[in-house]
Each structure stands twice: as structure tokens, then as C-alpha cells.
Amino acid sequence: MDGRASAVFYRSPDDEYPLFVRAQGCRLWDEAGCELVDLTSGVSGAAIIGQGRPDIAQAMAEQVRRLSYMHTAAGTTLPQERLARRLADLAPEGVDRVMFSSGGSEANEIALRIARQYHLARGEPERWKVVSLAPGYHGATAGALSMTGRWDINRSYEPYLFRGVRKVTAPITYRGPYRGLAEEEAAQRAAEALDAAIEGEGPHTVSVFIAEPIALSTGMAVPPDGYWRLVREVCDRHGVLFVCDEVITGMWRTGRFLALDHADVTADITTLAKGLGGGYAPLGAVLIRGSVADAIRAESRRMAEVHTYSGSAQSCAVGLAVLDAIEAEGLAGQSEKKGALLADLLAERIAGLPWVGEVRGRGLCQGFELAADRAARTSFPPSSEVARSLTDAMRQRGFLSRTMHHGSALVGDAATLTPALTIETDDLDEGVAAMRASILDLGPVWEAQSER
């Protein structure tokens, strides 16, 4: 669709958007009948169990016939109660309360409000500041955008964003201050940077530290081993709540229910979305450590600020059906195996290409950075249009993929792969082969454009 002709006000008004009309599993078809294999779970990572599933449609329809809506200020519903219990059972020990939202941005803002209520309940009203990572992304609403460490995204809205957020350099070892360091030293220095930021703000004024275990904004860079354990220690030492944004990485995307589970670390508050609703309904969740919830309850403080569709019966019914599908089909185990296969394919076919700087990620949350100079680790200039051209080339080969141009000092052009847990191994194999062929075709073009 032509953005200038449509009545829809698109996010990029002058761009053209393909009109998709049908999807089944990990395949989509546009109005021209073009078939694409989806390597992105619907671009955002939400369609984690594939599309067009009769079991999910049936769960939605049955719930709507039974009870379509009830605001959570006036009552609860069986789907909300059952989904909360399921999530609490899956969460780490000690995390046993759940509050629902309509999506990831809203979940991260709820996490902020829970933290505020917690500190008020403990008699520490001066704790209101936030520390987050840059680059990093936490959503598009004002509070979530304030916590986002992406100047290319939030600079236009800077006058509307709250000032109490301190950004700390993300623990990326490809470029920046942690480049070339051993894992242990990089983890230690990155944790010390967090500690210094909290000390600089005044520990008694800091409410939360929020971070993603693996982020699209870092091109799927995985923090060095030991980092999250040290983060937990820093937060505990200063009485700061640790909020883990698992909107992208949760729901077995990395082979575990939560990506932070790989580090054997438990956050005080964890946010989920995207895969929780499977792309079938707007749904997010905030997992809360019992001690945090109990402190709020002990002082009879109320979380009165709820949204219209928080805890929606229909959405929660979808969430239950998504969990049922993952359990019945053994998708958690499949995710781990397919993630290992994807990592191997990228290492064998992509990592050695002259325009690829680094391959990184975990499970079915993989990515790689494209570099103009592998040795110097320099990015391509924006004029090379690496992200757009690679996305277009993959589409011409029959694959929906995602490559983003970040343009920061730490991350340039990064391709990310977040396929559904249900994707066939043949599709992974062919998708990586198509990616290799596309890069081989485009690499010389990128070089020529960057030399102009």
C-alpha cells in the first residue's frame, strides 16, 4: 500500500507497505500471492507458535461466547486467574504474583508503578529515579520511552520524557569501552558502571534498574558471563529493584522460559508480552517477587491505575491456549534444539563473510552485525542503505527478515532472527542460505557505496 494514498497514517508515511492477506504457520502471503517464510515471528517476535492455528481461534471464540469483557477494577475472571497461576508456576522460586497488561510498553510502565508503591510502602518516598542501559528499548509510551536508551528513537520526544532516568553503557563487547576485554573483566567493569551510576544519583533516590537480557537494540549482543549475577549484587546492595524486560526474550525464545534463567538470577519484577499472546491477542504480564507484592499489600497500598483491557478475559484465554500449545507440542525443548541449529548455521555460513563483523545471540534469538571493515569494526555509512537492501533481497528470495540500522557508536547495521518455536529446520537451513547469498550479492555494492 502507498503511504500517501492510504487513509492509514503509517509509521513512515512516505513508504510503501506490502498488503498481507493470509498466514499459516511460519508462512505469509501478500495480495499478489507472493509467499514468504517468516524468520521474524511477525517482525516483532510476537507470533511465537505460528499463525492460523485452529486451537487458538477456538479458545478465543469459546471465551467470547462465555464472557467477552469485565474490567478488573470490578471483578476477576477464570482465564485471568488460571493464567496468573500458570505463569507463577513457571517463574523462578519466590516470584508468585502476576499483573496483566495489553502489551510490553504498558507492562514496563506497570513495573515502574509497582516499584514506586513498594518504596512508598517501605517509607522511602525519595526513591523514584531509574537507571537503564543504552542502547536498549522498553516501549513507545512516555514512561517506557523515557527508559529507552535509543537517542535515534526518543530524541524527537525529549521534551515530553521524564528526567529521572540515568543511562549506562550496555555491556557490549564488540565495540565501546568493553571491547576486547575478557568475559570476567568486561562483566566486572560493566557492573561497576552500574554501581557508579547509582552512587552518582544517590542510592537513596534510585528506584529501579531495568534491562533486557538480550536486545534487538544491541543487535542481539549477549552480556558477558557473570554480568547478571553482579547486577543482582549491585541492586541488592543499594536497595534498588531489578526489573528484567523479557518482552522479546521470554516464553522460551532462548530455550528457557526466561532468558535470565540461563544466568540463574531472579529479577524482582519481570515483564512479558509478545510471545505470551502469540500474536493472536494483545497481552502482557508483570511477574512480581512475592516479597515486593507483600510489602505493598502490608501497607494497604492500591494499584488503582489499570487500563481498559488489562487482564482481558479473551486475551488471557489466548495466553492459556498458547501455553497449552507449547507444552503439548514440546516447543520448549524444540526451541533449545532449533536455537542450537540456527547458531551453528550462522557460524558456518555467515560468520566468515567479509562484511560480517560478529554473530551473536542465544537460542532462537540470534543476530549478526554487518561491518565495512572487519578488523576495525567500523559500520557502513547510512548512505550504503545496508538494512533496507538486505531486507529487500531476502524478500525477493522468499523470506521475511529484519535488518535495522542503528547508527550508534556501539551498534550499526544488525540483522536479527527471531523465528517461531514451530519453524521447520528446513526453513532455518534455507533461510540462512538465502541470507548468505544475499550478503554475497550485496557486499560489493555496500563497499562501493561506502567509498563514495
pTM (2 d.p.): 0.96
182 Cβ neighbours under 8 A, 6+ residues apart: none
**Residue 300, amino acid:** S
CATH superfamily assigned to domain 20-52+330-450: Aspartate Aminotransferase, domain 1 (3.90.1150.10)
pLDDT tens-digit profile of 72-100?
Answer: 999 999 999 999 999 999 999 999 999 99
pLDDT tens-digit profile of 19-66?
Answer: 999 999 999 999 999 999 999 999 999 999 999 999 999 999 999 999
Q: What CATH number was assigned to the domain covering residues 56-328?
A: 3.40.640.10
The domain segmentation of the chain, as residue ranges, is: 20-52+330-450, 56-328
pLDDT band at 3 (very low <50, low <70, confident <90, very high): low
pLDDT band at 6 (very low <50, low <70, confident <90, very high): confident
**Residue 145, amino acid:** L
pLDDT tens-digit profile of 202-236?
Answer: 999 999 999 999 999 999 999 999 999 999 999 99
pLDDT band at 137 (very low <50, low <70, confident <90, very high): very high
∠ at Cα 179 (137, 402), nearest 5°?
40
Contact present, 194 and 223 (Cβ < 8 Å)? no
Tell me, what's the pLDDT at 311?
95
**CB atoms inside a 10 Å sphere around CB 167:** 18
pLDDT tens-digit profile of 370-384?
Answer: 999 999 999 999 999
Q: Is pLDDT at 131 greater than 90 in this prediction?
A: yes
How would you classify residue 311: left for phi > 0, otherwise alpha for psi between -120 and 50, otherwise beta? left
Q: Is pLDDT at 452 greater than 70 in this prediction?
A: no
319 Cβ neighbours under 8 A, 6+ residues apart: 79, 83, 276, 277, 278, 281, 283, 285
pLDDT tens-digit profile of 339-395?
Answer: 999 999 999 999 999 999 999 999 999 999 999 999 999 999 999 999 999 999 999
**CB atoms inside a 10 Å sphere around CB 151:** 13
Locate all alpha helices (DSSP H) within 257-382, ordered by sequence: 290-298, 313-328, 331-349
